């Protein structure tokens, strides 16, 4: 049964890539169909495999990100240098 | 007309379904039925996991040694309230990760790579791999130290860590992996048991809640304490892990409140157990405790045994084994999520090793490399353990900035994007972590190069 407002997707057995075991009682709804009703449409692997659009960053944001990156690398290098010098 | 409508029902047409979808959908069906049946506790049980694992995973070997060292050197004053404050900061960061994962169904690595470009994605993955490798070495050191208390050698530590990684893979299900690690993570409470066994003065603990006395010592030592304590609470791997695990678990926007409970409970437990390690370590303060360096490594459980009895030492040693083991599993998983997400291949515990070869190879591979390092004779293991948290603190602000940007991205998050108050707290956390990490890095460098005395 589908709850009111439920946005999940019904998956006919023929479309799936999974092998479908033979049914003993064809008149009953297939258990595997019922199972896929509980994933949201954008939750399927085929949907999440599609890349999201690139964000448009302005120049200031890009410059700030690069500044932060350079700073983090520089401080990391200092920490590693200190670590190595303390070993000797 | 009816026939036309029937043929125009694209919403009912299925996407291609993979075994990963099947496994995730099976988990989601239980959530669905618990929600429909109004079974609150069952729903909570089904939805907790990533938050508790991220928080208790961060109560890892080097973190617990850092807390205990704080206690041994400075006592419990200042740190008893400071540790919960840090975990409150961690909650703010991790709640964002959970929310982004639940809304986008994607991991942090792939979102950064796709949204901001491959350069930033690979930088993030590179940072993570570096800090994770160093931290994983420290985790194996932690297991080795714990086992050494019971007269077992490094080979046993390596075997234990690697067998656990492989064992949790079996079954090809996220749910199974999560529940095994969750069960193990609850033994982080051993540090609370150790705190009780040292019979602390309750009045002294209550009196320390006013952040006093402030730790003394040199400026550099204070910065080291701050940087390593922050690094013991919030790290880059937690960001990759919780977002990736939330997506892998199949969380949706409807689950965000439960995700918050999960993260809050994790932060609360981690803070309590972290304070437990601090109090256990503080038992050494009044018994001629030495400096931080002296208490790392095998000396800690032994020192505790001498001042508080064999039970306290044994429980602390077992806690170190647990902390290291759980962290190996969660940190390796975060590496696997990052590597497979950035390459763009299957990245789920709901896939079999054959379907997600790179994911499982990265998961086991980084643990294997770290394990091999601790078998190298004469390797500076204790120095690595000490510096692991500091390196994580230095690289954390970059990861946090992208996290805040993603959580603010209305194109991705819609009405679930950050509020102003969340942004204000998040940016304050980034600034605090950045200043502490950078101050320690620069001051230590200037001391090491004798620019300042």
Q: Is the dihedral of CA B303, B306, B308, B309 positive or negative?
A: positive
Instruction: Using the predicted structure, report yes or no on whether residue B211 has a pLDDT greater than 80.
Output: no
Contact A9, B15 (CB under 8 A): yes
Which residues of chain A does B355 touch, with a Cβ-Cβ cutoff of 8 Å? Answer: none
* Mean pLDDT value across residues B399-423: 95
What's the pLDDT score for residue A86?
81
Question: How many Å apart are CA A14 and CA B402, to the nearest integer?
Answer: 41
Question: How many Å apart are CA B62 and CA B145, to the nearest integer?
Answer: 11
Question: How many Å apart are CA B97 and CA B110, to the nearest integer?
Answer: 13
A74-88, B5-19, B232-246, B348-362: which has the minimum mean pLDDT? Answer: B5-19
Of all residues in chain A, the one with the smallest CA distance to B408 is A55
* Mean pLDDT value across residues B356-368: 95
Question: How many Å apart are CA B134 and CA B183, to the nearest integer?
Answer: 25
Return residues 246-265 of B near A (CB < 8 Å): 247, 250, 252
Cis, bond preceding B111 (omega within 30 deg of 0): no
* Mean pLDDT value across residues B326-352: 94
Mutation to test the B interface, candidates A76, A84, A87, most B Cβ within 10 Å: A76
Nearest alpha carbon to residue B79 among B89, B92, B69: B69
Whole-angstrom Cα Rg for chain B: 22
B347: closest CA of chain A, how far (Å): 10
What's the pLDDT score for residue A34?
59
* Mean pLDDT value across residues B436-451: 88
Which residues of chain A does B105 touch, with a Cβ-Cβ cutoff of 8 Å? Answer: 40, 42-43, 47-48
Question: How many Å apart are CA B397 and CA B399, to the nearest integer?
Answer: 5
Instruction: Using the predicted structure, report yes or no on whether residue B312 has a pLDDT greater than 90.
Output: yes
Question: Using 50, 70 and 90 to split pLDDT, how confident is the model at B359?
Answer: very high
N residues, chain B: 453
Who has greater pLDDT, B153 or A8? B153
Helices (H) and strands (E) in chain A, counts: 3, 0
Instruction: Using the predicted structure, report yes or no on whether residue B249 has a pLDDT greater than 50.
Output: yes
What's the pLDDT score for residue B270?
96
Instruction: Using the predicted structure, report yes or no on whether residue B361 has a pLDDT greater than 80.
Output: yes
Instruction: Using the predicted structure, report yes or no on whether residue B24 has a pLDDT greater than 80.
Output: yes
Q: Is B171 exposed, middle or buried (0-12, 13-18, 19+ CB in 10 A)?
A: middle
Nearest alpha carbon to residue B146 among B136, B156, B132: B156
> Cβ of A72 and B12 within 8 Å?
no
Q: pLDDT tens across A56-67, in order? A: 899 999 999 999
* Mean pLDDT value across residues B314-319: 96
B34-38, B311-315, B373-377: which has the minimum mean pLDDT? Answer: B373-377
Question: How many Å apart are CA B231 and CA B394, to the nearest integer?
Answer: 9
Contact B59, B273 (CB under 8 A): yes
Who has greater pLDDT, B224 or B350? B350
Which residues of chain B does A47 touch, with a Cβ-Cβ cutoff of 8 Å? Answer: 15, 105
Residue B17, chain A, CB below 8 Å: the answer is yes
Nearest alpha carbon to residue B327 among B129, B60, B55, B128: B60
* Mean pLDDT value across residues B211-240: 81
Question: Using 50, 70 and 90 to split pLDDT, how confident is the model at B14?
Answer: low
Question: How many Å apart are CA B6 and CA B173, to the nearest integer?
Answer: 36
Question: Using 50, 70 and 90 to split pLDDT, how confident is the model at B16?
Answer: confident
Nearest alpha carbon to residue B238 among B97, B359, B63: B97
Q: Is A63 exposed, middle or buried (0-12, 13-18, 19+ CB in 10 A)?
A: exposed
Nearest alpha carbon to residue A8 among B379, B120, B254, B158: B254
B178-192, B195-209, B250-264, B421-435: which has the minimum mean pLDDT? Answer: B195-209
Question: Using 50, 70 and 90 to split pLDDT, how confident is the model at A33?
Answer: low
Instruction: Using the predicted structure, report yes or no on whether residue A23 has a pLDDT greater than 50.
Output: no
Question: How many Å apart are CA B152 and CA B146, to the nearest integer?
Answer: 9
Mean pLDDT of chain B: 88
* Mean pLDDT value across residues A23-41: 60
What's the pLDDT score for residue A35?
62
Question: How many Å apart are CA B387 and CA B415, to the nearest integer?
Answer: 40
What's the pLDDT score for residue B416?
96
Residue B187: CA atoms inside 13 Å, Cβ hemisphere, count?
A: 18
What's the pLDDT score for residue B223?
82
Instruction: Using the predicted structure, report yes or no on whether residue B419 has a pLDDT greater than 80.
Output: yes
Which residues of chain B does A41 touch, with a Cβ-Cβ cutoff of 8 Å? Answer: 11, 15
Neighbours of B38 (CB within 10 A): 8
What's the pLDDT score for residue B293?
45
Instruction: Using the predicted structure, report yes or no on whether residue B49 has a pLDDT greater than 60.
Output: yes
Cis, bond preceding B213 (omega within 30 deg of 0): yes
* Mean pLDDT value across residues B288-311: 69
Question: Using 50, 70 and 90 to split pLDDT, how confident is the model at A36?
Answer: low
Residue B387, chain A, CB below 8 Å: the answer is yes
Instruction: Using the predicted structure, report yes or no on whether residue A7 has a pLDDT greater than 60.
Output: no
Instruction: Using the predicted structure, report yes or no on whether residue B330 has a pLDDT greater than 50.
Output: yes
Instruction: Using the predicted structure, report yes or no on whether residue A16 has a pLDDT greater than 60.
Output: no
Q: pLDDT tens across B88-138, in order? A: 999 999 999 999 999 999 999 999 999 999 999 999 999 999 999 999 998
Instruction: Using the predicted structure, report yes or no on whether residue B232 has a pLDDT greater than 80.
Output: no
> Cβ of B14 and A11 within 8 Å?
yes
What's the pLDDT score for residue B367?
96
Nearest alpha carbon to residue B231 among B66, B98, B69: B66
């Amino acid at each position: 049964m589908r709850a009111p407002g439920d946005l999940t997707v019904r998956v006919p057995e023929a479309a799936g890539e999974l092998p479908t075991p033979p049914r003993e009682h064809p008149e009953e709804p297939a258990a595997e169909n019922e199972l896929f009703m509980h994933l949201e449409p954008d939750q399927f692997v085929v949907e999440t495999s599609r890349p999201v659009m690139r964000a448009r960053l302005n120049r200031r944001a890009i410059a700030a990100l690069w500044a932060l990156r350079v700073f983090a690398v520089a401080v990391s290098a200092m920490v590693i240098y200190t670590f190595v010098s303390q070993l000797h | 007309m009816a026939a036309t409508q029937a043929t125009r029902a694209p919403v009912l047409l299925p996407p291609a379904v993979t075994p990963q979808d099947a496994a995730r959908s099976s988990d989601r069906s239980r959530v669905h039925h618990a929600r429909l049946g109004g079974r609150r506790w069952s729903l909570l049980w089904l939805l907790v996991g990533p938050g508790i694992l991220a928080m208790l995973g961060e109560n890892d070997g080097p973190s617990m040694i850092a807390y205990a060292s704080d206690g041994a050197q400075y006592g419990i004053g200042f740190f008893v309230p400071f540790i919960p404050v840090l975990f409150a900061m961690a909650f703010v960061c991790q709640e964002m990760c959970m929310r982004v994962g639940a809304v986008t169904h994607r991991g942090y690595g792939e979102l950064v790579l796709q949204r901001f470009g491959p350069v930033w994605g690979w930088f993030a993955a590179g940072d993570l791999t570096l800090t994770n490798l160093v931290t994983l070495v420290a985790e194996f050191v932690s297991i080795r130290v714990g086992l050494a208390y019971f007269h077992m050698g490094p080979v046993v530590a390596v075997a234990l860590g690697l067998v656990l990684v492989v064992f949790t893979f079996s079954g090809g299900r996220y749910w199974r992996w999560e529940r095994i690690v969750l069960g193990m993570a609850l033994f982080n409470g051993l540090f609370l048991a150790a705190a009780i066994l040292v019979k602390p003065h309750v009045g002294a603990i209550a009196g320390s809640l006013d952040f006093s006395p402030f730790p003394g010592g040199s400026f550099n030592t204070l910065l080291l304490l701050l940087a390593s304590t922050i690094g013991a609470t919030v790290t880059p791997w937690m960001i990759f892990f919780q977002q990736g695990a939330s997506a892998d678990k199949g969380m949706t926007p409807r689950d965000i409140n439960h995700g918050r409970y999960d993260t809050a409970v994790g932060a609360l437990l981690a803070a309590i157990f972290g304070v437990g390690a601090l109090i256990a370590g503080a038992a050494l303060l009044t018994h001629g405790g030495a400096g931080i360096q002296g208490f790392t490594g095998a000396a800690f459980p032994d020192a505790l045994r001498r001042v508080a009895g064999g039970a306290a030492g044994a429980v602390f040693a077992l806690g170190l084994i647990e902390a290291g083991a759980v962290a190996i599993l969660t940190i390796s998983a975060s590496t696997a999520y990052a590597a497979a997400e950035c390459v763009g291949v299957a990245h789920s515990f709901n896939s079999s090793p054959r379907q997600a070869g790179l994911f499982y190879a990265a998961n086991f591979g980084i643990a294997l490399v770290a394990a091999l390092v601790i078998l190298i004779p004469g390797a500076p293991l204790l120095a690595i353990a000490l510096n692991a948290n500091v390196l994580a603190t230095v690289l954390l602000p970059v990861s946090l900035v992208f996290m805040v940007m993603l959580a603010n991205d209305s194109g991705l998050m819609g009405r679930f994007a950050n509020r102003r108050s969340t942004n204000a707290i998040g940016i304050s956390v980034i600034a605090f972590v950045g200043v502490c990490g950078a101050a320690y890095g620069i001051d230590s460098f200037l001391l090491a190069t004798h620019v300042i005395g």
